[in-house]
Amino acid sequence: MQAQPAAKIWRLGVLTINDRATFARSPVYGAFIQELRALGYREGENLVIEWRHTQGQSERRRQEAAALMAWKPDVVFTVTDINAIALRNANPAVPIVGVSGDLVGMRLAASLSRPGGNVTGLQTRAPDLAAKRLQLLKELLPKLQRVALLHAQAEEDPGFYDRIFADLQSAAPAVGVTLIRVRVRNASDLEKSFAEMADAKADAVLVVASPFMAANISARRRARRAAAHPGHVRDRRSSW
């Protein structure tokens, strides 16, 4: 009797900001694993997952992306544009599926309908959503007048935040608000930015998600909780 060929073991690489244990506290994690199972991929049976995280650090991002691609995955899942860029730079052939702010604007994909290249996924930036975000803030704060846009200084594509600001700027007059743009380059800038926004009399803040913001705003929140309640700090970092 001829032996049956062994079933293929699929190799899935994952690159996120925080480690797997942190990501697992998010409902997104359960949905992610559940959908893999629904598609017939079960970790420990026909699927191996190599999970790496960057902690929002540029040098570590490059190192982890290179190490993940050296592992020779069949496909990689990631979050944020800059993680996708690091992975593509490490290997332009391995398929990459990402949750990205601006796949097209960051030139990771030619278009959403026909991405081309090796990167595809979900794009969260949409001009129509800019007006909706401001409208929701206005509903929450009817007297809203000044909104601060807080974002990290872009590494790979400074134009990314310009496009987000332009989307909001176009929507602002109809909502009746004025925008204030605040850029931060490091943790020290982040601390100063809150004083800057207070001086500018911002009524609300829109934070553009990024590895830097996820890591540093969480750290700032934990530090403030530690100062207020020594010995009773629970880590609730961003799950991404």
The pTM is what?
Answer: 0.67
**130 neighbors 168 (Cβ within 8 angstroms):** yes
Q: Compute φ and ψ for 226, nearest 5 degrees.
A: -65, -40
pLDDT at 230: 45
Which pLDDT value is given to residue 218?
A: 64
Please tell me the predicted confidence (pLDDT) of residue 57.
84
pLDDT mean over 58-74: 95
Percent of the chain with pLDDT over 70: 84
Strands (E), the chain: 10-16, 47-53, 75-79, 96-100, 119-123, 146-152, 178-184, 204-207
pLDDT attached to residue 44: 94
pLDDT of residue 1: 47
Mean pLDDT of 162-183: 91
DSSP at 43 = B
Mean of pLDDT values over 146-157? 80
| The predicted structure's pLDDT at residue 229 | 46
Number of other residues whose CB lies within 10 A of the CB of residue 232: 8
Instruction: Please state the φ and ψ torsions of residue 139, each to the nearest 5 degrees.
Output: -65, -40
Which residues are CB-neighbours of 102 under 8 A, at least 6 positions away?
81, 123, 124, 125, 160, 163, 164
